């Protein structure tokens, strides 16, 4: 009997031309393939890479992927079939080069710096290929599309982060949010959506990023309504909350009640860098629920106020859609948010998910709930911040009449450091800048209400996000460049009413 498994696998890095699709990198498995081949996610990825201008694919034959190794340890190592514990990794580049050029980049020591710059400038991210016949698409990080959509809408991706990639001694970097296909062994849609959602916030909080296998285990520790944990039969919303807590975060669970409410929540959390998991249900009312991860926003014009008794606008009305990681489709899939009247007459928020090259929605669902993994110390709910903001902005519209009907508010959380680092551009006096930077106590995350006049900021109110009630927790009101000095006395009176420090 030959000795099995004692030899190390061979490896190389091969250069291939990207011809518009990725099917050749994912060979069809032998035997009966129960679902369609190539998988939808592979076809989607090919189209998306085409949009990014991909020209070259580097294939790293041997790659140890932490997430996959955990999957193997928990599940696949006990299968009859001998699954390898390593993967392949594909790297995508927007410049065309061949094997000879790649070799030259690696071995020409004199032009190493030039080679590193060339590779980084054209790097479009990576995709891990798992040796799982039915679900080969593993951890994938690609950049987002540009800030302007063809329709003229603006794209904004608040929940992405930089990923460092090591390839043949080169340090490469790509900014995005991790995506992968569900494998139905250790993960279903809810697991992969939560895995993506937690990737940015756990890193920022210095926590260990859980693998899909660890998420499924944590979700099943205390509650198993589906009977067995593995193979994964999906998660309930309660299990998603449990796994989020196991990761050292807290789940904010927001039932979907109306389009206005839902887009206000999505705008605030995504602008704060927190990726929400969306629980959706087919519009038909039949079929099982599904989970996706929201990564970015599509915004148009801010809509006018519909209540004639009010004199402000809500920035959340500018949100018309989302970019989501849908593990049945691919990363950054476009989804429209629309108001939908269900058969029972109830008005709901509907989510229409589209392919990148098609105008017709691939799927129509309604939104059931939004689950956002957030740091534990972020206690003040967004709804409470908005409650304070509504009253404040309406009062400002009355007190500063030249801005009435054009004054806009928005709410989000921001790290103290990020806010302070931008303060030099606020137009504050020297005394005001020193006061804000050195003499004002702020929580690590502040609840931020921004009042603007559609073109430039007027003033901000900073709230202590570690508190539970918004009203007694105003730390400071910060005047911004757009607020004329004639209104400063009234702003001082507003600050006094909130027992907040005024910074001008």
Partner 1 sequence: MSSEERVRRALESARQAVKPIVKQEMEGELVSNELLSVRLRNHR
**Under rule CB under 8 A, residue 40 binds partner 1:** yes
Stretch of residues binding partner 1 (CB under 8 A), selected from 42-50, 69-77, 348-356, 391-399: 391-399
Question: Stretches 1-9, 163-171, 181-189, 349-357: which one binds partner 1 (CB under 8 A)?
Answer: 181-189
How many other CB atoms are found less than 10 A from the CB of residue 197? 30
Stretch that binds partner 1, among 77-85, 106-114, 287-295, 448-456 (CB under 8 A): 287-295
Q: Residue 413 pairs with which residues in a beta bridge?
A: 447
Q: Does 333 bind partner 1 (CB under 8 A)?
A: no
CB of 371 to partner 1, least distance (A): 10
Crossing angle of helices 212-219 and 189-204, rounded to 10°: 110
Give the burial class of 303: count Cβ atoms within 10 A of its Cβ; 0-12 exposed, 13-18 middle, 19 or more buried.
Answer: middle
Looking at the Cβ atoms of 341 and 471, the one nearer to partner 1 is 471
From residue 83, how far is each of 29, 230, 323, 481 by CA, in Å?
13, 17, 34, 61
Q: Is 367 in the site for partner 1 (CB under 8 A)?
A: no
Distances (CA, A) of 26 to 33, 70, 176: 13, 22, 23
Residue from 298, 325, 386, 412 binding partner 1 (CB under 8 A) = 386
d(CA 389, CA 391): 6
Q: What is the CA radius of gyration of the chain?
A: 25
Cβ proximity of 22 and 45 under 8 Å: yes
Nearest distance from residue 251's CB to partner 1, in Å? 11
Phi, psi of 283 (to 5 degrees): -60, -30
| Using rule CB under 8 A, residue 440 touches partner 1 | no
Of 22, 283, 369, 483, the residue at the interface with partner 1 (CB under 8 A) is: 369
Of 186, 161, 171, 195, give the one whose Cα is nearest residue 83.
186
Q: Does 287 bind partner 1 (CB under 8 A)?
A: yes
Residue 288 touching partner 1 (CB under 8 A) = yes
Please give the residues from 470 up to 489 whose contact with partner 1 meets the rule CB under 8 A: 489
Q: Judged by CB under 8 A, does residue 383 bind partner 1?
A: yes
**Per-residue x/- mask for partner 1, residues 411 to 430, rule CB under 8 A?**
--------------------
Region for residue 168 given its phi and psi (left: phi exceeds 0; alpha: psi -120 to 50; beta: otherwise):
left
Selected binder of partner 1 within 89, 199, 328, 412 (CB under 8 A):
328
For the chain, the farthest-separated pair of C-alpha atoms sits apart, in whole angstroms, at: 91
Q: By the criterion CB under 8 A, which residues form the site for partner 1?
A: 35, 40, 182, 184, 188-190, 193, 225-226, 232-238, 240-241, 253-255, 257-258, 261, 264, 279, 281, 287-291, 307, 309-310, 328, 368-369, 381, 383, 386-387, 390-395, 398-399, 489-490, 493-494, 496-497
């Amino acid at each position: 009997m030959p000795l099995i498994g004692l030899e190390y696998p061979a490896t190389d890095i091969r250069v291939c031309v990207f011809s518009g699709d990725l099917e050749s990198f994912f060979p069809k498995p032998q035997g009966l393939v129960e679902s369609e081949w190539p998988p939808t996610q592979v076809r989607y990825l090919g189209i998306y890479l085409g949009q990014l201008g991909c020209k070259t694919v580097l294939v790293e034959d041997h790659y140890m992927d932490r997430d996959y190794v955990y999957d193997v340890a928990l599940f696949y190592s006990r299968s009859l079939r001998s699954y390898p514990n390593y993967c392949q990794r594909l790297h995508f580049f927007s410049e065309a080069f061949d094997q000879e050029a790649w070799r030259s980049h690696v071995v020409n020591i004199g032009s190493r710096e030039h080679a590193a710059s060339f590779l980084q400038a054209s790097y479009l991210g990576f995709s891990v290929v798992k040796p799982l016949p039915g679900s080969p698409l593993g951890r994938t990080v690609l950049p987002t599309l540009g800030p302007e959509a063809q329709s003229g809408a603006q794209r904004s991706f608040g929940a992405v982060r930089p990923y460092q990639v090591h390839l043949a001694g080169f340090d490469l970097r790509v900014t995005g949010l991790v995506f992968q296909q569900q494998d139905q062994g250790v993960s279903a849609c809810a697991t992969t959506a939560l895995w993506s959602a937690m990737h940015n916030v756990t890193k920022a909080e210095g926590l260990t990023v859980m693998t899909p296998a660890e998420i499924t285990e944590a979700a099943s520790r205390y509650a198993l309504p589906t009977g067995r944990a593995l193979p994964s039969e999906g998660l309930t919303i309660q299990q998603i909350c449990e796994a989020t807590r196991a990761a050292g975060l807290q789940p904010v669970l927001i039932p979907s009640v109306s389009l206005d409410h839902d887009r206000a929540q999505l705008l605030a959390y995504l602008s704060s860098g927190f990726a929400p998991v969306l629980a959706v249900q087919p519009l038909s009312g039949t079929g099982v629920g599904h989970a996706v991860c929201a990564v970015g926003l599509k915004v148009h014009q801010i809509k006018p106020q519909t209540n004639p008794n009010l004199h402000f606008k809500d920035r959340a009305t500018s949100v018309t859609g989302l970019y989501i990681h849908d593990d049945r489709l691919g990363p950054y899939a476009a989804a429209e948010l629309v108001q939908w009247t269900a058969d029972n007459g109830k008005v709901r928020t509907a989510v229409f998910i589209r392919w990148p090259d098609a105008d017709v929605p691939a799927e129509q669902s309604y939104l059931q709930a939004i689950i956002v993994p957030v740091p534990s110390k972020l206690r003040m709910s967004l709804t409470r911040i908005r409650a304070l903001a509504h009253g404040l902005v309406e009062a400002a519209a009355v007190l500063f009449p030249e801005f009435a009907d054009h004054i806009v508010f928005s709410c989000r959380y921001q790290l103290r450091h990020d806010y302070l680092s931008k303060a030099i551009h606020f137009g504050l006096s020297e005394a005001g800048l020193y006061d804000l930077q050195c003499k004002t106590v702020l929580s690590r995350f502040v609840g931020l209400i921004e009042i603007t006049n559609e073109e430039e900021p007027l003033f901000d109110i900073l709230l202590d996000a570690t508190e539970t009630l918004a009203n007694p927790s105003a730390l400071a009101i910060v005047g911004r460049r757009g607020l004329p000095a004639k209104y400063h006395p009234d702003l001082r009176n507003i600050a006094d009413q909130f027992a907040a420090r005024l910074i001008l």
